[in-house]
A and B are shown apart, each in its own frame.
Chain A
Amino acid sequence: MFALLLFSPRRATFAQDSFGKPSAEPPNEERYVYKQIPDIPITTESGVENLSAIWREKPVLLTMVFSRCARACSPFLRSLSSSVSDAGGLGTDYRVVVLSFDPRDTVAEMEMMGRELGLGSNPDWIFGVAIPRDIRRLSTVTGFWFQWDESSSQFDHPSLVVAIDRGRLVRMLAGASVPSASLREVVQELRGKFVASYTLAGKVAFRCFEYDPNSGRYSLDWGLALMLLPGTCALLATAWVFFFRPSSRRRESLPRG
């Protein structure tokens, strides 16, 4: 009871903490790719260790959730877990770190979250917490944000997984779920293979090509029609000039070749 009295006001303050600018659009990977990830200490079941201790061994897939999340966190983690199984390579090519951004969360609560998802016993799934200042540093370089919603007593936040190789952010997947094909590409990249093309999150008008990560094939898109527009305009203008505009009265006077 004493502990509850002692910590309640502070917890209430933490619960209302927000960070970053909320947006309906997912973070733009182009703005964050190759940024250096801060080497923050994280607390896990095995104690305190720096993130660098993990990524020095092998690349890391990092995601941020909170254990009291009643919305996207659990479905997102299930989707990530399923895609990780599909893509393979867990433990050999990379590990997954799930950090809480909610200062109320404890290591035990994060571990429990992992166990509920069937991931708790897997040593390559690391559930942990970090101090708020470090969470903010991490959020700054990954485009992550969280906004406390008083009415629902929940955080609003994007669902995001970032791939970290040798301390740098190399890829970012955003969305309510993690498509297996997209994660396979990320894993390929973490294995050091060159991935020539992938679709960025967010709406882009007039793409030239649509890339299908499942088949690795391109299909033509509406942007390519715009590429044909200049040539079409030139043909129409030429036709107008030669077939509709000229007076042909002088043509007969030309010398024969």
Chain B
Amino acid sequence: MTAAAAEPGLWSEAELAKFRRMTLVWGITVLLLLPILALLGYFMRLYQSGAFSGLRAEWFYAVLTLHSLGMVGTWFVGSMAGVSYLLLKYARPSLAVSKFAYGGTLVGVVLLIACTLGGLFGTGWYFLYPLPLYAQGVWAPWATFTFFAALAILGVSWTIWTLDILRAIAQRYSLGAALGWNYVVGKPGHELPPLVLITTVSLIVSLSGLAAAVVVIALFGARALGVNVDPLLMKNLTFFFGHDLVNITMYLGVAMVYDLLPTYAGRPWNTNRVVAMAWGAVLFLVLFAFFHHLYMDFAQPTWIQKFGQICSYLLAVPAGVVSIFGTLALVYASRMRWTLASTFFFLGILGWGLGGIAAVIDSTVEVNFHFHNTLWVPAHFHTYYLMGVVLIILGFIDHAGKELSGLEEKASLSKLTTALLLIGGYGFLFMFYWGGVRSVPRRYAIYPQEVMQGTLYARVAVGFITLLLLGILLYLWETGKRCLKALG
């Protein structure tokens, strides 16, 4: 058991049991949200395929907003709960703070559901300034207020949670040790688990992203009081927040793979100089790569766009290449124990890599001019999310569920689940990519005559999503049983 391997004296058995229980609560919550949010995505592709011609398009945008923010939030908390659980071996995160974050997340989710499905708030996750303040009669002011209240509550809860995990790490490691600086300069020092290194890097970045959200919300407040705010500044801050949050979720997922995959491969995956340098570079580069979201904003000076492209390219090397190479090296010629969890970890890293390649392509200014407003964009982020970090987190929940319940998996069902998720997932993604290459615009509820091919692609995608949902249901049935048994 992962938590049982905690250093002696770090935790009492009773404390460990409570923390494991809290992790299961987080895991089951994620498993409950997954099918709901996935069905919202299913609804959107159905809408684009013309299945709901009588329904107002405003519903599409409200669902888009809930689906995108809900998914990003769900996997962020899933990854945070995962690393908290795995960190129990090395540090003492606070159970009370985890519970507080859980309460805040629940309140935030309820408010998000209220403003989107109840109030038709439909700006998309990026709520680009000043769109939330210009509802054009689609949503009421209360929906805008509720949306920002949800963001504020989620932001505060997650910031406190982030600070607490950093605090726990700081109790055992100095900042230099947690960032692996002794490995970088080649001096002997404390042994540093990759989980601690990547989590430290990720959470420092996460704090900056969450702080950006606070500044954005404050400036929206200033606008409501009559101050005209620079839209370029608002877009920069919004994408700084969104880009960081999404990347951090992926990095925390990768941290879990660094920690858990060795237990299946029977080989260690230790921090070394390359790993420490790579994640040190991530700490710097991820803060500037977000500029690739603003290539269309030609009011931004050209040197910033070039800097964004360079950082985006460079970022792919340390995080992606080092981790992918590490995964392959770990698995190659090992006595790998292939279970649902380890398969998901491996496939998750693969999906992260594939999505990363598509992202790097799109982060090239010349290419972005053609792809920016097409389905290529949802294609790439669904690749590293759905087939990347989502698989990793589902793998973690399955891993934890098995450990804590003692129930073994059925190999045949695991294979069927994996096959359905792979065929359904990549088929669904392929239709996004194909749509992007064929100039089908994103964020269109209904395709106009000029890009009517998008309707056909959406119909094909619906078929693949059906397979994907079957895979998800099968996974939920099996893993959910184990988690519920472990919960008692």
Contacts and interface: CB of A to CB of B under 8 A. Distances in A.
A223 B230 contact: yes
Given A205-B229, A241-B166, A254 B172 contact: yes
B279 to A, nearest CB: 15
Contacts of B240: 227, 230
B233 A257 contact: no
Complex A-B, nearest 9 residue pairs according to Cβ-Cβ distance, in ascending order:
A257-B191, A234-B208, A230-B211, A234-B207, A230-B212, A233-B211, A246-B170, A223-B233, A242-B175
A207 B230 contact: yes
A254 B173 contact: yes
A233 B229 CA distance: 21
A206 B287 CA distance: 21
Interface in A230-257: 230-231, 233-235, 237-239, 241-243, 245-248, 250-251, 253-257
Contacts of A247: 171
A95 B182 CA distance: 70
Size bin of chain A's contact surface: 35 or more
Interface in B140-169: 163, 166-167
Interface string B174-198: 1101100011000011111000000
A24 interface: no
B175 A226 contact: no
A257 B183 contact: yes
Given A233-B211, A257-B188, A204 B167 contact: no
A202 interface: yes
A197 interface: yes
Nearest to B287: A231
B204 interface: yes
B64 interface: no
B430 to A, nearest CB: 35
Contact of A234 (B7, B175, B204): B204
Query: Which of B183, B208, B270 has its CB near the most chain A CB atoms (within 10 A)?
Result: B208
B191 A254 contact: yes
Given A230-B209, A256-B191, A246 B227 contact: no
A208 interface: yes
A197 B211 contact: no
Q: How large is the interface on B (under 10, 10 to 19, 20 to 34, 35 or more residues)?
A: 35 or more
B230 A250 contact: no
Given A208-B233, A223-B233, A251 B173 contact: yes
B416 to A, nearest CB: 42
B271 interface: yes
Contacts of A3: none
A241 B299 contact: no
Given A223-B230, A226-B233, A226-B237, A238 B171 contact: no
A41 to B, nearest CB: 34
A230 B216 CA distance: 10
5 contacts: A231-B211, A241-B166, A242-B178, A248-B171, A256-B190
Interface of B: 7, 163, 166-167, 170-175, 177-178, 182-183, 188-192, 204-205, 207-209, 211-212, 215, 219, 222, 227-230, 232-233, 236-237, 240-241, 270-271, 287, 298-301
A255 B207 contact: no
Interface string A194-223: 001100001111111101000000100001
Given A230-B208, A230-B212, A204 B166 contact: no
B5 to A, nearest CB: 13
Given A207-B230, A209-B301, A241 B215 contact: no
A183 to B, nearest CB: 19
Given A197-B299, A245-B170, A226 B215 contact: yes
Given A237-B163, A257-B189, A243 B175 contact: yes
A206 B175 CA distance: 34
A108 to B, nearest CB: 43
A59 to B, nearest CB: 22
B303 to A, nearest CB: 9
A253 B8 CA distance: 11
B230 A241 contact: no
Nearest to A246: B170
Nearest to A221: B230
Contacts of B170: 241-242, 245-246
Nearest to B162: A237
B159 to A, nearest CB: 8
A196 B205 CA distance: 32
B189 A227 contact: no
Nearest to B236: A227
A229 interface: yes
Interface string A44-72: 00000000000000000000000000000
B207 A203 contact: no
A256 B188 CA distance: 7
Contact of B174 (A251, A253, A255, A257): A251
Contacts of B207: 233-234, 237-238
Contacts of A235: 204
Contacts of B172: 250-251, 254
> Which of A209, A224, A229, A231 has the most chain B CB atoms closer than 10 A to its own CB?
A231
Contact of B190 (A203, A224, A243, A257): A257
Nearest to B213: A230
A257 B230 contact: no
A257 B227 CA distance: 55
